[in-house]
């Protein structure tokens, strides 16, 4: 019997994928779980195993094309019962999210659905509107206001038609601030402006960051750490370490180790908000932002608390290499419980990052800068950095955030350096 093969959901927040390369051609016999097609998503490139055994009869999506998750990409001919019994999820893919799971599927109240239908609004259109209800839920009032604005012509036209260029405001008039939802800026109209198509990665970042800022009440704490001893020790020894361990022991590795220790003392930092309560995560899996040309990707050092400094550095090295080669696996990017972002490498001295949805906090490690500081009665030149924590204020308060940061600071500052071994950190 003929069956459809659909674009799988690869990763927690992907909703589209690009066909990289068809590994089988129409007419080919395919074993179940045999690699069928290479798929590129915002996060990873994977070979999708055939969900059924049988014959590939048609390829529906050409190489290079991007389609939404769930879109049929190929047809196969299977032998009856097998298909029915087959697990249609590709091996390795996460189970489908529960119906009202994590917000990927819009949760709309009955009255909102009814009004949408009465006004001919596609659910997709309204699902993206910012809501004033709990967790950003779209309420009846939100929708009515949207309809009003829409009728008034200030909102986006329902269908993607070419928008008429806006008449320029007469000189001296104040252009009103956009009300929610933000109307998109006018399409290019004879200027040199151009629209850059969103890459899957960009789109995913946009969606996740907007979701976080919408749902998570962010609060921030920043403290100063004197890492002179640590940087001196590292500068003095890093070549020797590299020769011996075969890997660069970066400052980030120290931060991860120190953060994992501080989390053990303040486990609340390693949690997640749910409507039923605060989900305390037992594993300490620390995500690390890796900047690529296409955008930021977060790779995860698993069980950071159980690894040595060298082990963490090795993980970081491997993740960084795979990220740059586009070879990250799903395993590499999933399961993070806390995140460290390192804007310091670009010279930022004070950053306020956005919490990754599903986590409680994110640590920003800013640039180490030489500064004159008061020590005793004198002024000394020391290596100073800022440690900043953005956190979900629903879960804990500033006291916990700053105690966590102080613990981190104590670890980084308290290290004597000198002829200590790496394993002493």
Residue 158 backbone dihedrals phi, psi, to 5 degrees: -60, -50
- 213 in Cβ contact with 355 (< 8 Å): no
Residue 140: CB minimum distance to another protein, A: 4
* 119 given a catalytic annotation: no
Residue 133 binds to another protein (criterion: CB under 8 A): yes
Cβ at position 141, least distance to another protein in Å: 8
Six-digit token pair at 367?
A: 């640039």
Q: Least distance in Å: CB of 276 to another protein?
A: 15
Contact letters for another protein, residues 90-119 (x by CB under 8 A): -------------------xxxxxx-----
Closer residue to another protein, CB minimum distance, 107 or 322: 107
Residue 134: CA atoms inside 13 Å, Cβ hemisphere, count? 4
Q: Which helix (H) or strand (E) holds 222?
A: strand 218-226
Site membership for another protein, residue 139 (CB under 8 A): yes
Q: What number of other Cβ atoms are within 10 A of residue 149's Cβ? A: 16
For 207, phi and psi rounded to 5 degrees? -65, -45
Number of residues that bind another protein (CB under 8 A): 12
Per CB under 8 A, the list member of 134, 159, 174, 243 interacting with another protein is: 134
Q: Which is nearer to another protein, 35 or 133 (CB)?
A: 133
Cα–Cα distance for residue pair 302/328, rounded to 1 Å: 14
Check residue 180 for interaction with another protein (CB under 8 A): no
Instruction: Confirm or reject binding of residue 214 to another protein (CB under 8 A).
Output: no
CA distances in angstroms from 300 to 46, 59, 163, 288, 317, listed in the order given: 18, 35, 43, 6, 12
Q: Please say if 397 is a catalytic residue.
A: yes
Helix (H) or strand (E) holding 48: strand 45-49
Least Å distance, CB 386 to another protein, is 36
Catalytic residue among 193, 393, 419, 424: 393
In the beta sheet, which residues pair with residue 48? 37
Which one among 107, 140, 213, 218 touches another protein, defined by CB under 8 A? 140
| Residue 277 is a binding residue for another protein (CB under 8 A) | no
Catalytic residue among 87, 102, 141, 397: 397
DSSP state for residue 423 in the 8-state scheme: G
Residues that bind another protein (CB under 8 A): 109-114, 133-134, 137, 139-141
Catalytically annotated residues: 393, 397
């Amino acid at each position: 019997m003929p069956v459809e093969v659909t674009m799988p959901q690869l990763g927690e927040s992907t909703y589209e994928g690009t066909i990289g390369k068809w590994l089988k051609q129409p007419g080919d016999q395919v074993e179940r779980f045999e690699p069928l097609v290479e798929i590129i998503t915002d996060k990873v490139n994977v070979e999708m195993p055939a969900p059924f055994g049988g014959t590939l009869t048609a390829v529906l999506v050409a190489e290079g094309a991007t389609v939404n998750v769930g879109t049929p990409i190929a047809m196969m001919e299977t032998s009856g019962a097998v298909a029915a019994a087959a697990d249609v999820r590709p091996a390795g893919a996460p189970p489908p999210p529960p119906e009202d799971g994590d917000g990927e599927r819009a949760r709309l109240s009955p009255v909102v659905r009814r009004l949408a239908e009465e006004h001919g609004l596609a659910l997709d259109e309204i699902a993206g509107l910012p809501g004033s209800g709990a967790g950003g839920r779209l309420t009846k009032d939100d929708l009515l206001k949207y309809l009003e604005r829409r009728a008034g012509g200030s909102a986006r036209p329902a269908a993607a038609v070419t928008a008429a260029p806006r008449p320029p405001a007469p000189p001296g008039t104040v252009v009103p601030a956009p009300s929610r939802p933000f109307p998109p800026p006018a399409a290019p109209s004879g200027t040199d402006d151009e629209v850059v198509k969103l890459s899957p990665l960009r789109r995913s970042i946009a969606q996740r960051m907007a979701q976080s800022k919408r749902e998570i009440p962010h609060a921030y704490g920043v403290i100063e750490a004197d890492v002179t001893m640590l940087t001196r020790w590292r500068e003095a020894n890093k070549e020797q370490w590299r020769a011996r361990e075969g890997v660069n022991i970066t400052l980030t590795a120290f931060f991860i180790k120190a953060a994992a220790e501080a989390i053990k003392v303040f486990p609340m930092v390693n949690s997640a908000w749910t409507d039923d309560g605060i989900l305390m995560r037992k594993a300490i899996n620390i995500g690390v932002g890796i900047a690529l040309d296409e955008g930021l990707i977060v790779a995860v050092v698993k069980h950071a608390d159980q690894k040595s400094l060298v082990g963490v550095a090795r993980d970081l090295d491997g993740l960084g290499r795979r990220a740059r080669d586009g070879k990250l696996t799903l395993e590499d990017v999933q399961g993070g419980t806390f995140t460290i972002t390192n804007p310091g490498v670009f010279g930022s001295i004070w950053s306020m990052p956005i919490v990754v949805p599903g986590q409680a906090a994110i640590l920003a490690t800013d640039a180490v800068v030489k500064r004159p500081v008061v020590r005793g009665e004198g002024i000394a030149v020391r290596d100073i950095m800022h440690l900043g924590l953005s956190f979900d204020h629903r879960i804990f308060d500033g006291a916990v955030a700053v105690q966590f940061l102080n613990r981190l600071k104590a670890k980084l500052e308290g290290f004597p350096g000198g002829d200590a071994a790496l394993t002493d950190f």
